[in-house]
Structure 1
Amino acid sequence: MGKVINSYGGKGGSFTIENTNLENVLIPEEFTEEQKMIMKTTKEFVEKEVTVLGEKAQQLNYQLSKDLVKKAGDVGLLGVCLPEEYGGLGLDGIRFAMIKESLNLGPSSMTATIGGQMGIGMLPIIFFGTAAQREKYLPALQEGTITTSFALTESQSGTDASSIKTSATLTEDGKHYILNGNKVFITNAGFADIFVVFAKINGTGFSAFIVERETEGLSIGPEEKKMGLKASSTCSMTFEDVKVPVENLLGKPGEGHRFAFNTLNFGRLSVGAGCLGNSKHALEVSVKYANQRVQFGKKISSFPLISQKLANINIKTYVLESMVYRTAGIFDEKLKEINFSDPNLEENSRKAIGEYMIECAINKVFGSETLDYAADEGVQIHGGYGYIQEYEIESIYRDSRIKRIFEGTNEMNRMFITKTLVKKLSKGQLPELQVALEDSEESLQNSLTTIAFNQTLDQETYLLSVTKKIYHMALAQALKTYDKGLEDEQEVLSDLGDIVIQTYAMESALLRAKKLVELNGEEKSANAIDMTVAFIHEAFDQIIGFAKNTLYTTSSGDTLDWQLNLLQESSRKAPINPVVLKRKVAKKVIEVESYSV
């Protein structure tokens, strides 16, 4: 069992106000031997069962995919989040993130099938199924003898999932629901044995159903020809008077939207962890190529602009790793509260999964954009060869692009972050933030200092504090200008969301670096310190830009002049030399030919 974490009082979004104690943060360097063994087992599984397939790992093969799922079940990977009473290892958010990362340290097109099974395929049944449903399906799912799929998306309802048209009508005898409609872009649909299908009862009651593949009236469309993830099955589905037993209704009628959105919330943490593995893999592929490729009589890894790319990928990946396991730690604390014998399991599960929806959305956005950066720069490092299918970076590039789209587009997630924080404010769930908003400008002005920073990471700690106060000022002005109309101002919502994302990223990296200094001393933590300093200074400059955009849109006249002057004063900081920092980071990456802390 891993370490129990509770970073900030159990309140999602509280990091925008409160400081987090080091002892309440999980970092990868503190993984237990058991946790390390789980990662080792997963990595070995990928190497022995996926990487060795070569080109076949990039080709769709139903039987190969099903065999791979079965083998994953044989080594226990599919039971990562399964309650012990159903044959799993027990609920564990940390373990879940570790396996999702490790599955993506190699070719991820085929392992996406496993990810879909252990993630959004099984989670609705785990958290929201009846005891009978869990007993019927979970043992076989964790063994890998049957496969599953999550069927939500429709042609006219992607991000707007609540607008689905698939209907469910209760028969006169009350024994079945009759489903009619269509689904698109359904992962694993080509071979899945059961589907979690979302439909509206009588056109309004958004509900979820477990539908078995052989049910009459259910038909699966042809495989979509995708840009990437070519070894992963993606099909449409058609329901024509599909007869589903009432026993297969998942949860209560009309509550399906809660299951869908909370499952996707868990899925966003999953995406962040998966992107972490992908980013490490992209970096390793790229640095090995850079060390082999010779131009002008030198390895291209020795060229400063190539080494800078490697450093930037490593730094972003370090920050993402810090975020993923910090989030997994606090998420795990909530999962420990779930009791599967509790009659209120459904509601308790919803609350546990939903508490950190802001943090999970942050991981999804930052993770997918870190991966896109790593993949894109990886192709650039390869030059023309990066455009050739023979080189692995080409498939990494194609496979990465979908991550910014599924589990909610990044645009939607940015707005979701701000909307969720505002909603929490309106419900009185973040009283400390409400207080901070009321005197935000005065608080920001009083926080500015000319004191010299003598200790390592002192200035970065100060910049983080100022960042939070800048956010308070920007959010307060947006609420003052738009009030409830803020939810329609997408540009402002997005800029505010970006400030929150960067704040969480800065703090996660800073907390990890400080903890490493406590554990190992400054000398042994020099690389983490350098990466943290470089990232925080660049992120802080970006935050100033996001805040300016918000104020330009929400303020005017003397008020705007005052706020911009205050923002200008806030942006003052002692300069750093990013070139020197990144050259040191790159040197270590080039030496070990992989991600390095």
Structure 2
Amino acid sequence: MEAKSKDLLRGGQFLVKETKAEDVFTPEDFTEEQKMMRDSVKEFVDREIWPMKERFEQHDYALTEEVMRKAGEMGLLGVAVPEEYGGLGMGFVTTMLVCDYISGASGSVATAFGAHTGIGTMPITLYGTEEQKKKYVPKLATGEWFGAYALTEPGAGSDANSGKTKAVLSEDGKTYAISGQKMWISNAGFCNTFIVFARIEDDKNITGFIVENDSSNGISFGEEEKKLGIHSSSTRQVFFSDTKVPVENMLGERGEGFKIAMNALNVGRIKLAAAGLDGQRRVISKAVEYANERIQFDVPISSFGAIKLKLAEMATNAYVDESASYRAAKNVEDRIALRIEAGNSHQEAELKGVEEYAIECSILKVAVSEDIQHCTDEGIQIYGGMGYSAEAPMESAWRDARITRIYEGTNEINRMLSVGMLVKKAMKGHVDLLNPAQEVASELMGIPSFDTPDYSELLSEEKAMIAKLKKAFLMVAGSAVQKYGTELEEHQQTLLAAADILIEIYMAESAILRTEKNAKRFGEDTQKEQIAMSQLYLYHAVDIITVKAKEAILSFSEGDEQRAMLMGLRRFTKYQNMPNIGQLRKTIAEKVISENKYPF
């Protein structure tokens, strides 16, 4: 599928423009090369990581470092790095694929891998000078060196630009002396380089620096943090005391650090979504294996409706998350390709390509991190008392999953960002929200149609429902923007409700489009369970959107306006043919049970 600007929606435009099923990328579209890469990563994980789960729970930081070195030798740390700097120079989808499959067996490895390849290496690749890239990136791409990212400070968490770390220029103008304290630094215990953010004089924005790890240069560490999960991920405080950094190690321009940090987090967010996919597949597979083997009342517990319900919901979320993650990844890849065709450098194209889909990155980060937490929680429940034991794989998976809702920006921050960025895009004219919102407002004042639509085509009612849910978002968000204007971001509860509507629309639509595309090319009979999962997820999405939209409407409107919007909400969330939820779950669960694994 070539990148064509006329077919490629901009970030956030999924809300106001129709996406055709044939235009979405799905995991069924992987090339032979991508499938080979996937299989080699799975083989590596099954050999080097999965059998070591117990050691990863024992704070074996050396094991994480050893696995990372082996991953480097296989080229897995340099998948996204251009070939001229020692990497494989593969496209964005392939980098997502590697991140997906290397992350499922251990949260400690997933964190080390993400911190190194993403926020540890990528800022140099994308913002570094030619000299910086030649000096550092080849070592980072091969695993000879490891990277870390030093942004967070004790007093500056979500407010990243408020850090107190200082960078003072020497009198001869040759070095900066960096002093300050950083915390929650992944890979700190074995990294060779830090991307450090510090403030020069009283600059409004922080500045990035590449700092080599050298204890004789005023760098010291706190003890390894005692954490709920990711036990073998090295996480330490780092202290800089007059640490000398050559002026040529400034990353990007002075005061550009906040921009670098935010763009690094955009990539980190979509990669974090990828890192939550195979974890779900593995948990589902282990859960159904146990359910098929565990006999109670003379039958496997997998035959009970309560267990089928859990397996169906777990599998559905995994399928939807996968659909949305690879849809967005391909959009990013195509946008990068378009920019390169237009004459942008690789750096500029990659930066702008990811930045374009920052809304989708935040949506995916929230959705997948919450789904993997739910998946591991249900995994424990299926195992029963054994699930609570550290002897079983579910307990560590649940603890490892918990951090995903916090790092790369908390889910609350990402929810508010997704809507905030959408409004900003609308104000810049990149996404036309105003005209569609006005059309919805006019529709509310008009007489509703009483015609019975023809939903004979596959998933046609589901697609019509998605279109109506988009109207529900435009109604709520449009009214909120009209009421609060530039003060919208101060009304966090309204933003959070709007974000949940936005998230459910994107995730549900992604699954429906994937299923429709595959049903058309492989035959409807091959997609029976996928159709059921798409319908089941949409049913839940409609419920969530109904609740969240109502919350928002009641919080900022009253009188006739409120009554009109509540009537509109009922219209926009009404099914013509309600699905049989019990039957959908049964269809999905029986496929998972018969295959004894996550089979999609």
Tell me if both proteins adopt one fold, taking TM over 0.5 as the criterion. Answer: yes
* Structure 1 residue 119 corresponds to structure 2 residue 118: yes
- Amino acid paired to 2:566: L
Partner of 1:384 in structure 2?
A: 385
Is the contact made by 1:210 and 1:250 (CA closer than 8 Å) also made in structure 2?
yes
* Structure 1 residue 213 corresponds to structure 2 residue 197: no
Unaligned 5+ segments in structure 2 are none
CA distance in 2, matches of 1:163, 1:470: 37
Shift of 1:59: 3.0
Partner of 2:560 in structure 1?
A: 558
Give runs of aligned pairs for residues 469-508 of structure 1, distance below 5 A. Answer: 469-508=471-510
Is the contact made by 2:163 and 2:199 (CA closer than 8 Å) also made in structure 1?
yes
Deviations 1:7-53 (A, max 9, x none): 95341100010011223211011111100001011111111111232
- Amino acid paired to 1:406: Y
Shift of 1:343: 8.9
Deviations 1:415-440 (A, max 9, x none): 00111111112222223x22112232
Give runs of aligned pairs for residues 333-412 of structure 1, distance below 5 A. Answer: 333-337=334-338, 348-412=349-413
Shift of 1:151: 0.8
Shift of 1:571: 2.5
Shift of 1:513: 0.7
CA distance in 2, matches of 1:294, 1:7: 57
* Structure 1 residue 241 corresponds to structure 2 residue 238: no
Partner of 1:323 in structure 2?
A: 324
Shift of 1:362: 0.6
CA distance in 1, matches of 2:86, 2:275: 25
| SS of aligned partner of 1:244 | strand
Structure 1 residues 343-352 or 456-465, which shifts more?
Answer: 343-352
Partner of 1:66 in structure 2?
A: 65
- Amino acid paired to 2:438: E
Is the contact made by 2:87 and 2:142 (CA closer than 8 Å) also made in structure 1?
no
Shift of 1:548: 1.1
Deviations 1:531-565 (A, max 9, x none): 11111122112112211111111211111112212
Partner of 2:88 in structure 1?
A: 89
Partner of 1:468 in structure 2?
A: 470
- Amino acid paired to 1:22: A
Structure 1 residues 498-507 or 49-58, which shifts more?
Answer: 49-58
| SS of aligned partner of 1:524 | helix
- Amino acid paired to 1:535: Y
CA distance in 2, matches of 1:499, 1:539: 8
* Structure 1 residue 589 corresponds to structure 2 residue 592: yes
Give runs of aligned pairs for residues 429-444 of structure 1, distance below 5 A. Answer: 429-431=430-432, 433-443=433-443
Partner of 2:583 in structure 1?
A: 580
CA distance in 1, matches of 2:90, 2:100: 17
Change (3 A) 1:519 1:341: closer
CA distance in 1, matches of 2:5, 2:319: 22
Is the contact made by 1:320 and 1:366 (CA closer than 8 Å) also made in structure 2?
yes
CA distance in 2, matches of 1:309, 1:121: 38
Shift of 1:281: 1.3
Partner of 1:518 in structure 2?
A: 520
Partner of 2:458 in structure 1?
A: 456
CA distance in 2, matches of 1:488, 1:311: 39
- Amino acid paired to 1:584: T
Structure 1 residues 84-93 or 574-583, which shifts more?
Answer: 84-93
Deviations 1:487-536 (A, max 9, x none): 10000001111111011011101110110111111111111111111111
Partner of 1:270 in structure 2?
A: 271
Is the contact made by 1:7 and 1:330 (CA closer than 8 Å) also made in structure 2?
no
- Amino acid paired to 2:230: L
CA distance in 2, matches of 1:239, 1:430: 43
- Amino acid paired to 1:510: I
CA distance in 1, matches of 2:21, 2:200: 48
CA distance in 2, matches of 1:49, 1:391: 19
CA distance in 2, matches of 1:3, 1:51: 37
Shift of 1:87: 1.9
Give runs of aligned pairs for residues 80-159 of structure 1, distance below 5 A. Answer: 80-159=79-158
CA distance in 1, matches of 2:382, 2:36: 33
| SS of aligned partner of 2:408 | coil
Shift of 1:109: 2.1
Shift of 1:345: 6.5
Is the contact made by 1:313 and 1:374 (CA closer than 8 Å) also made in structure 2?
yes
Partner of 1:296 in structure 2?
A: 297
TM-score (norm 1): 0.96
Deviations 1:158-184 (A, max 9, x none): 111111111111111110111111000
Is the contact made by 2:473 and 2:501 (CA closer than 8 Å) also made in structure 1?
yes
Change (3 A) 1:131 1:45: same
Shift of 1:327: 0.7
CA distance in 1, matches of 2:420, 2:246: 38
Shift of 1:408: 0.5
Deviations 1:269-294 (A, max 9, x none): 01100111111111111111111111
CA distance in 1, matches of 2:323, 2:344: 36
Deviations 1:425-464 (A, max 9, x none): 2222223x22112232224667865324222211101100
| SS of aligned partner of 1:523 | helix
Is the contact made by 2:280 and 2:376 (CA closer than 8 Å) also made in structure 1?
yes
Partner of 1:314 in structure 2?
A: 315
| SS of aligned partner of 1:538 | helix
Is the contact made by 2:64 and 2:108 (CA closer than 8 Å) also made in structure 1?
no
CA distance in 1, matches of 2:124, 2:336: 15
Partner of 1:20 in structure 2?
A: 19
TM-score (norm 2): 0.96
- Amino acid paired to 1:585: I
Shift of 1:572: 2.1
CA distance in 2, matches of 1:575, 1:91: 44
Shift of 1:61: 3.2
Shift of 1:390: 0.4
- Amino acid paired to 1:414: R
Identity in percent: 39
Deviations 1:362-386 (A, max 9, x none): 1100000110110111111111111
Change (3 A) 1:344 1:246: farther
Partner of 2:548 in structure 1?
A: 546
Partner of 2:427 in structure 1?
A: 426
Change (3 A) 1:469 1:339: closer
Unaligned 5+ segments in structure 1 are none
Structure 1 residues 108-117 or 133-142, which shifts more?
Answer: 108-117
Is the contact made by 1:211 and 1:248 (CA closer than 8 Å) also made in structure 2?
yes
- Amino acid paired to 1:440: V
| SS of aligned partner of 2:206 | strand
Shift of 1:247: 1.1
Change (3 A) 1:102 1:378: same
Change (3 A) 1:350 1:265: same
Give runs of aligned pairs for residues 150-189 of structure 1, distance below 5 A. Answer: 150-189=149-188
Partner of 2:51 in structure 1?
A: 52
Give the paired residue count: 595
